[in-house]
Amino acid sequence: MSATVIDGTRLSDELRAEVEREAAALGAAGIRPGLATVLVGEDYAAQAYERRVRRLADELGCRYVGEQLGADVEEADALALVGKLNADPRISGILILRPLPPQVSEEHLYRQLDPLKDVEAVHPENAGLLALGEPRYTPSTPASVFWLLDRYVEESGRDPATFYNGLDLVLVGRSNNVGKPALWLGLARGATVVSCHRFTAQAGRLEEHTSRADVLVVAAGVPRVVTGAMVKEGVLAIDVGINPVTDEETGKVRLVGDLDFESVAEKAEAITPVPGGVGPITDVWLLKNAIEAARLRSRLAP
């Protein structure tokens, strides 16, 4: 393996120190941030994320409310739950965990969010502000991707302010909470951005685009969908995938990414592992956004 493996845990510790200072400053002013998560069903990766966020919120002194609904819940009940959290003055930020069951519209649930509590910027108002380059909140996962990239670029002696100018940035996945906001963040950095998705793959053209990437961000939710044969030498490869797979010999479940780590690492300049790459930073960034939401709400309070 020739690639540098980017240590997301180390970087998350640095970000956490910053967030702890922000939380302490708010606490000194008598403000306690509150984060609520909404989990519908029993998706393995979503449950794992919820547990990590719950633990981190407790460690940072942030109020935490975890709401869970059954996979067969009616959409009206899910909407009502979000409305209840909107009205709760103790909650500054709300995260709706994906995936949602087919009878619950992602779009409807996102529109129900109070934009000031929408810390993942999925409400149309916040998504629009992000697209215009004036974000109220930067969604935690794409924000973490670029924060990690910026730190790696800086530590390798290059300037993040100019590094992306004209580079081919290829995104695999176009979800509302990762792929689409990552597109806007890439454009804001001066990159030439290509967004790939399932129709790109169905057309047999995924490798055509991934093989040109200077920076490759994969958030498709498909285990090992991109292999070393599909990337060029020297790529910066960022894996956002969190896929539970069962070991055929032991029967144990483990998490793997959307990159085939070993083969991509043979060609990449740098690569993120799963777990231990983007994920730990994302957890901290979510709490950072909840703290910012509490600060914003306190300034707007009558």
Tell me the average pLDDT across 98-117. Answer: 96
pLDDT digits (tens, 9 = 90+) for 258-289: 999 999 999 999 999 999 999 999 999 999 99
pLDDT band, very low/low/confident/very high, at 301 (cuts 50, 70, 90): low
* pLDDT score recorded for residue 28: 92
Q: Which whole-number Å values give the CA distances from 92 to 3, 32, 210, in the listed order?
A: 40, 9, 39
Asked whether the predicted pLDDT for residue 121 surpasses 90, the reply is yes
Beta strand 63-69 with 270-271 is unpaired
The more confident residue out of 17 and 250 is: 17
pLDDT digits (tens, 9 = 90+) for 133-162: 999 999 999 999 999 999 999 999 999 999
Please, is 69 exposed, middle or buried when counting C-beta atoms within 10 Å of its C-beta (0-12, 13-18, 19+)?
A: middle
The more confident residue out of 289 and 246 is: 289
Asked whether the predicted pLDDT for residue 41 surpasses 70, the reply is yes
What pTM was estimated for this model as a whole? Answer: 0.93
Q: Which residues fall within 8 angstroms of residue 175, CB to CB, at 6 or more apart?
A: 98, 219
Q: Own/partner pairs for 11-15, CB < 8 Å, 24+ apart? A: 11/147, 11/148, 11/151, 11/280, 11/281, 12/280, 12/281, 12/283, 12/284, 15/147, 15/281, 15/284, 15/285, 15/288
pLDDT band, very low/low/confident/very high, at 250 (cuts 50, 70, 90): confident
Q: Which domains does the chain have, with CATH numbers?
A: 30-135+281-295 (3.40.50.10860), 140-276 (3.40.50.720)
pLDDT digits (tens, 9 = 90+) for 123-141: 999 999 999 999 999 999 9
pLDDT band, very low/low/confident/very high, at 302 (cuts 50, 70, 90): very low
pLDDT digits (tens, 9 = 90+) for 200-216: 999 999 999 999 999 99
Alpha-carbon distance 46 to 140, whole Å? Answer: 15
Alpha-carbon distance 4 to 97, whole Å? Answer: 31
Q: What is the DSSP string of the chain?
A: --SEE--HHHHHHHHHHHHHHHHHHHHHTT---EEEEEEES--HHHHHHHHHHHHHHHHTT-EEEEEEE-TT--HHHHHHHHHHHHH-TT--EEEE-S---TTS-HHHHHHHS-TTTBTT--SHHHHHHHHTT--SS--HHHHHHHHHHHHHHHHTT--HHHHTTT-EEEEE---TTTHHHHHHHHHHTT-EEEEE-HHHHHTT-HHHHHTT-SEEEE--SSTT-B-GGGS-TT-EEEE---EEEE-TTT--EEEE-SB-HHHHHTT-SEE--SSSSHHHHHHHHHHHHHHHHHHHHHHH--
Asked whether the predicted pLDDT for residue 14 surpasses 60, the reply is yes
The more confident residue out of 249 and 240 is: 240
* Cβ-based neighbour number of residue 207 at 10 Å: 16
Tell me the average pLDDT across 226-252. Answer: 93
Tell me the average pLDDT across 58-69. Answer: 95
Question: Among 237, 209, 205, which Cα is nearest to 224's?
Answer: 237
How many Cα neighbours within 13 Å face the side chain of 81?
A: 23
DSSP lists the bridge partners of residue 169 as 193, 215
